[in-house]
Structure 1
Amino acid sequence: MKRTAAAAVSLCLAAVTAACGGGAGGAPGTTGASSGDASTGAVFTTIDALKPGIDANAPINPYNPKGNAFRGFNAEWLGWTKNHLTDPNLFYPGVARSWQIAPDQSSITLRLQPDGRWSDGRPITAEDVKFSIGVAYTQGGTAYALDPSAAGAASDIAILDERTIRITQAAENPSSTFVRSVMETVIVPRHVWGSVLPADFWQRLKVAQSDAPGAGAARAGITALAEKVITFAPPRDVSAGPFVLKRVNPGEALLVKNRYFHNAAAVAADQVRVLNYTGNEQVWNYLVAGRLDSAPFTAVPAGVMRRILRTPGNVAVRGYSPVSEGLAFNQSRKPYDNVHVRRALAHLIDRAQVTKVASPEGGTASVTTSGLHQRAAQAWLGDGLAALEPYRHDPARAEAELRAAGMRKTGGRWTLPDGSPWKMTINVPASFSDWLAGAKAVTSQLNDAGIEAEVVTTADYPLYLEEMAAGKYDVGFWLVALGPAPYNIFQRLYGAQNGWKLFGGKLRHVPAGTEGNWMGGAETVEVAGEGRIDPGALAVRLNSAPEAEQRRIVSILARAANQDLPVIQLWDYVNTQVVNTTRFDGFPGDDSDALRLTSGVWLQLGMIKRK
């Protein structure tokens, strides 16, 4: 995917990494490194799904959207999230060697790698972690929210010894995503980054997280540090990861092994080349040429995949990716305010055919709409999944639903109830090749069924999100089912985009077309067997409910989504990656819980072996 904003990068990577990217094709970019570099040891070559378009002038800064910090290589988290169907709190070691989570998730105690050192030889200490948490506060987030009533905010950070630190969650409004938010903290060296935080930062933070006089000013002051953090440019890379950035040019970034890395003996590569690319076509060319030892998920047509797999050593590896592609409705626009219209469209769209066109190698047709990826739905709902309406391709049922909505059919074309033309537009970002292909397949099917439909493209994804949030689209493609935490999953359907705003621990529903509410759904919906529910309130409750209650709520919300159809799920993503076993082996296999991590993490954990 192409991104220019940090938030957009984060969102897309939580979803499907390079799943949607398109853009200009062309021959592979040049490496820009001399042959002498390659002769110094085993060289591992890859691309970074987070950074299509390497910027040689960007700082070595993991908070900068274009920064030359590569996750798992020279940018390090406390721990690396495993790809579990329902549990977001399983991790591989990173800067932390081990951790103890309180039974109620009220705190996490982290023990750092006992021999962890920065690439300049200094030890990685609990002071570094505390400082890194301070930096994270300038950017905000679940554990690092400044609002004292925000769900899941850290209330206390205690250094127990040089290599042990405990982070405690505020008891007033706990969150089930607190632990994951802490573990995914980027760790930076205090002795390099010290200037980005004022000397009295922790005193300011204490005031900011209180109701004391001056709290608002303290919050504003900390938030104002965000730009300073994002633009900070260290003079050289001081890395906690297995590699250190040696140089970068428009063609590639070259990283060399960090000899002080705690697990350096198990790291199979001496150097890493991260090649530049600006679109999927370049990645395909790299793979066909056998230049990549691994490539993260990239949307690939079936014919291109066959060419890729003919290259000696190339192997496709597939695993679970907790995200689905959906067709989302602005329910403040007619006729999409009528559930019968949405149900009719669900019956008219042949999801299997759409998936075959849009994402044949990286997706499977959604079984139904539940808000959940099918595999997660099976884990959360069990037999309840089979009870949901599947919305099979059924033109007769679709016609009945359209007539129930008062729509008219004249001369083979459907019109609005008053007889005026109905022209359906589906918006997608122009650079997302799979979304564009899927949207064209959907409009083709609808036109065949008598609904005039067309695809309208937006220049880039940040603009797409901006215009979508402003309510400019009737219908658009929207990623859903972003797991594994059920709270995150259902925020995509019943969160801020659909009118539910949580601030200061209080939830309110804002009118359609205001404060980013572009979905425009009703505040309450009727669910068979449950009566009238407030789905937004239930979705928020998922953030703190125990597992048994979470399962009950997930069941209710899945049925609400299935009946009300704020989106129509089209396909569930499959994390299809390509690795080349000519130079290295030991890559994670099909369905490995490490597949959504970068190959830098695979290298640092010692999974990959040199041939």
Structure 2
Amino acid sequence: MKRFAVVAALLGLTTVTACGGIGDRSAAVDGGLYTTVDALKPGIDANAPINPYNPKGNTFRGYNAEWLGWTKNHLTDPNQFYPGVAESWDIAPDQSSITIRLRPNGRWSDGKPITSEDVKLSIGLAYTQGGTAYALDPSAAGTASDIEIVDDRTIKISQSAKNPSATFVRGVMETCIVPAHIWKNVLPADFWDKLRIARGDTPQAEAARAEITGLAEKVIAFGPAKDVSAGPFVLKRVNPGEALLVKNKNFYNAANVAPEYVKILNYTGNEQIWNYLIAGKLDNAPFTALPEQVMKRIVRTEGNAVVRGYSPVGNALAFNQTRKPYDNVHVRRALAYLVDRAQVTKIASPEGGVASVATSGLHQKAAEAWLGDSYGALEPYRADPAKAEQELKAAGMRKIGGKWTMPDGTPWKPIIHVPAAFSDWLTGAKAVTSQLNDAGVEAQVVTTADYPLYLEELAAGKYDIGFWLVALGPAPYNVYQRLYGTANGWQMFGGRLRHVAPGKEGNWMGGAETVEVKGVGRVNPGELAFKLNSAPEAEQKKIIATLAKVANQDLPVIQMWDYVNTQFVNTTRFTGFPGDDNDALRLTSGVWLQLGMIKKRQP
């Protein structure tokens, strides 16, 4: 799947010189040049500011943009991290707070110490953008309620007791830290007073919230005169073809950072990455959808190797149940029985996916960890035309002249929508429609120009069926919000959970508010999914077991394949890359470099 960042308005220009790079690899071979692409930044914009809050900004995660800590994406525990700006941290047993300790030798690339003031200022900037631990809505879950500077290198962030969340710690640790001495004037002098008012319920709160969110564009537009980095590298120059970064000599672990330079190459499509790999230009490339014949060419290149690991995300066909006949569970089950998921995966994502064993809402590996033996009891919906016919007849559908029709005899022509640039989704959708047409269901594929537009139209309820990312782990709350959250009608309003009518306020999935579950009874899946936000692990397991049954029986989606984190490395210049199933594979190679994993190959 091609990765995109959502494009926001670019409101400022960088002062970084848009001049050429250092030329070919041999120009810096003595100092060590590491070359890669950034999956988070397709399309380098040489005119964008050096700003991690800007979607096109010339900061690169793990290289010159640094988080407090780097998420390991454990199967069941979202609160495991590699150190970043933070050297260590203490999490309160009830997750009511996290105390961050910065490195005593931590310094910015300009030599100034990294302090608690930098962290506090960065949190303030994050509040202007909203979301995660820094939402301004007092009813939002898992938001910070207090920020206490203990000393120059220690800061404590507490969670609001009104609506605690198991995702709070991760939201804090994934804060990008910027230098206060560069950014201090971006926030007004009374910012923290405004924030205190905004988090309250006084008459002035709404106006204060508006003032803070109104700062978002100013933050996005800010363009520092030069890169001052807490990471292992500093941006030296950028042009439309590449960004060149040089080692940060003040980085705490600089002695163990192997290359002197990093070159991040521009790309706008998967094919460019394939060509870079075939030419042996890249030391590492993240997951890229590709056909089998291209994989064979890549691995023939000297030094190229493939590593694979867990990727907490899956792909699914999602139904708009506000549209007939997809409001009928028998139709959804029939489609599940008509699709051979293994065959679709083999065609669409042979190197980057494994056919889903069963629809549960979870990635298979996470499902096995959370559900144990009960995972095997879920209905797998293996391809079975006879069962599909039974389900269609139960829905009142009719077969006329070898073609399935609506109950009233009018044509039934399912349309599957996909973004045009996602090659695996497009190929998968075509494979699905081919199978459906063979079974007498006249299905077709329609593409949308780009991913942001696709998501916009999906949320507006314009599609009958669309491809949808699911199983977004590791936090189970996030996993089940994909199926039983805002997209399916459950929203927080005034501190309380409510279910809005199908087709209203972003409820494009249109599922029923309650579902009858065999062996369990009638349940409200949105309420259960919301409880995952604060439930202890033992209770989470019970909730997940129920929600897996709901998803499996009601099929708001049909899980197609679980992604495999397939990456490419080249060992002719560097060694020490993470191996198969290493939890660091979900992080950028900038993190591998800063942790000292990567070593120069010795002659």
Normalising to structure 2: TM-score of the pair?
A: 0.97
- TM-aligned CA deviation for residue 6 of structure 1: 5.4
- Whole-Å Cα distance in 2 between the matches of residues 103 and 275 of structure 1? 44
- Whole-Å Cα distance in 2 between the matches of residues 595 and 559 of structure 1? 31
1:41 and 2:42 correspond: no
SS at match of 1:138: helix
- Whole-Å Cα distance in 1 between the matches of residues 89 and 387 of structure 2? 54
- Whole-Å Cα distance in 2 between the matches of residues 112 and 337 of structure 1? 53
Q: 1:502 to 1:85 in 2, by over 3 A?
A: same
Deviations 1:546-588 (A, max 9, x none): 1011000000000000000000000000000000000000000
Contact 2:133 2:144 in 1 (8 A): yes
- TM-aligned CA deviation for residue 37 of structure 1: 5.0
- TM-aligned CA deviation for residue 503 of structure 1: 2.8
SS at match of 1:100: strand
Contact 1:423 1:452 in 2 (8 A): yes
Q: 1:199 to 1:181 in 2, by over 3 A?
A: same
One-letter amino acid matched to 2:566: T
- TM-aligned CA deviation for residue 234 of structure 1: 0.6
Match of 1:406 in 2: 396
- Whole-Å Cα distance in 2 between the matches of residues 77 and 208 of structure 1? 26
- Whole-Å Cα distance in 2 between the matches of residues 536 and 142 of structure 1? 19
1:505 and 2:506 correspond: no
SS at match of 1:557: helix
- Whole-Å Cα distance in 2 between the matches of residues 321 and 45 of structure 1? 23
SS at match of 2:418: strand
SS at match of 1:151: coil
- Whole-Å Cα distance in 1 between the matches of residues 175 and 120 of structure 2? 10
One-letter amino acid matched to 1:329: F
Show the 5 A alignment for 1:59-78. 59-78=49-68
Match of 2:115 in 1: 125
1:175 and 2:176 correspond: no
Contact 1:150 1:504 in 2 (8 A): no
Show the 5 A alignment for 1:50-89. 50-89=40-79
Deviations 1:190-244 (A, max 9, x none): 1111121001110000000011231100000000011111111111000000000
Contact 2:132 2:142 in 1 (8 A): yes
1:432 and 2:422 correspond: yes
Runs of 5+ unmatched residues, structure 2: 10-18
Match of 1:20 in 2: none
1:326 and 2:327 correspond: no
1:415 and 2:405 correspond: yes
- TM-aligned CA deviation for residue 173 of structure 1: 1.1
SS at match of 1:591: coil
Match of 1:338 in 2: 328
1:573 and 2:563 correspond: yes
Match of 2:13 in 1: none
Which of 559, 578, 585 does residue 588 from structure 1 map onto?
578
Match of 1:443 in 2: 433
Match of 2:197 in 1: 207
- Point out the more displaced range, 140-149 or 453-462: 140-149
Match of 1:298 in 2: 288
One-letter amino acid matched to 1:3: F
One-letter amino acid matched to 1:198: P
Contact 2:292 2:350 in 1 (8 A): yes
SS at match of 1:58: coil
1:464 and 2:465 correspond: no
Show the 5 A alignment for 1:148-547. 148-547=138-537
- TM-aligned CA deviation for residue 34 of structure 1: 3.1
Match of 2:4 in 1: 3
- Whole-Å Cα distance in 1 between the matches of residues 371 and 294 of structure 2? 37
- Cα RMSD over matched residues? 1.3
- TM-aligned CA deviation for residue 504 of structure 1: 3.0
Deviations 1:312-351 (A, max 9, x none): 1000000000111000000010000000000000000000
- Whole-Å Cα distance in 2 between the matches of residues 469 and 371 of structure 1? 19
- Whole-Å Cα distance in 1 between the matches of residues 151 and 123 of structure 2? 17
- Whole-Å Cα distance in 1 between the matches of residues 7 and 482 of structure 2? 19
- Whole-Å Cα distance in 1 between the matches of residues 162 and 447 of structure 2? 45
- Whole-Å Cα distance in 2 between the matches of residues 261 and 395 of structure 1? 61
Contact 1:2 1:460 in 2 (8 A): no
- Whole-Å Cα distance in 1 between the matches of residues 344 and 427 of structure 2? 8
One-letter amino acid matched to 2:548: A
Deviations 1:391-437 (A, max 9, x none): 01100000010000000001110000000000010000000000000
Runs of 5+ unmatched residues, structure 1: 9-29
- Whole-Å Cα distance in 1 between the matches of residues 361 and 169 of structure 2? 24
Question: Paired residues, what number?
Answer: 590
- Whole-Å Cα distance in 1 between the matches of residues 352 and 4 of structure 2? 20
- Whole-Å Cα distance in 1 between the matches of residues 226 and 422 of structure 2? 35
Contact 1:2 1:431 in 2 (8 A): no
- TM-aligned CA deviation for residue 513 of structure 1: 1.3
- Whole-Å Cα distance in 1 between the matches of residues 581 and 570 of structure 2? 18
Normalising to structure 1: TM-score of the pair?
A: 0.95
One-letter amino acid matched to 1:217: A
- Whole-Å Cα distance in 2 between the matches of residues 77 and 308 of structure 1? 33
Deviations 1:235-277 (A, max 9, x none): 1000000000000001100000000000000100100000000
- Whole-Å Cα distance in 2 between the matches of residues 73 and 209 of structure 1? 34
SS at match of 2:70: strand
- TM-aligned CA deviation for residue 141 of structure 1: 1.4
SS at match of 1:3: coil
Contact 1:31 1:275 in 2 (8 A): no
- Whole-Å Cα distance in 1 between the matches of residues 5 and 131 of structure 2? 20
- Whole-Å Cα distance in 1 between the matches of residues 302 and 95 of structure 2? 48
- TM-aligned CA deviation for residue 40 of structure 1: 5.5
Q: 1:368 to 1:31 in 2, by over 3 A?
A: farther
SS at match of 1:378: helix
One-letter amino acid matched to 2:344: V
- TM-aligned CA deviation for residue 31 of structure 1: 7.6
- TM-aligned CA deviation for residue 7 of structure 1: 8.7
- Whole-Å Cα distance in 1 between the matches of residues 326 and 29 of structure 2? 61
- TM-aligned CA deviation for residue 97 of structure 1: 0.2
- Whole-Å Cα distance in 2 between the matches of residues 7 and 409 of structure 1? 48
Contact 1:494 1:536 in 2 (8 A): yes
- TM-aligned CA deviation for residue 171 of structure 1: 1.2
- Whole-Å Cα distance in 1 between the matches of residues 336 and 437 of structure 2? 14
Match of 1:556 in 2: 546
SS at match of 2:446: strand
Show the 5 A alignment for 1:13-52. 32-35=21-24, 38-39=28-29, 41-52=31-42
SS at match of 1:181: helix
Contact 1:78 1:184 in 2 (8 A): yes
One-letter amino acid matched to 1:209: R
Contact 1:147 1:504 in 2 (8 A): no
- Whole-Å Cα distance in 2 between the matches of residues 215 and 492 of structure 1? 30
